[in-house]
Structure 1
Amino acid sequence: MEKVAENILYQEKCFNGEGIPMDDIKGTQIPLGARMLKVVIDFIRFEKQEQSTEKAYSLLEQQRQYYDPKILAAFKESLNIVVEVPTVIIELSKLKENMIINTNLLTTRNQLVARKGQKVTETLLHIIKHCLENKAIKGKVQIIENEE
Structure 2
Amino acid sequence: MPDAPVVPVPAEKPDLLREWIEVAELAAHNLGLGKRFAELSPEHWQLVLASVTDRIRLRGASFPLGWRHTLARQVGHATEEEAIARIIALQAKQEEIATQVVPELGLGELAARDPADRAMVDQQTSKTIEGCMTLPPVFPRS
TM-score bin (small chain): 0.3 to 0.5
TM-score by length of 2: 0.34
Q: Indicate the structure with greater helix content.
A: 2
Q: Indicate the structure with greater strand content.
A: 1
- Which has the greater radius of gyration? 1
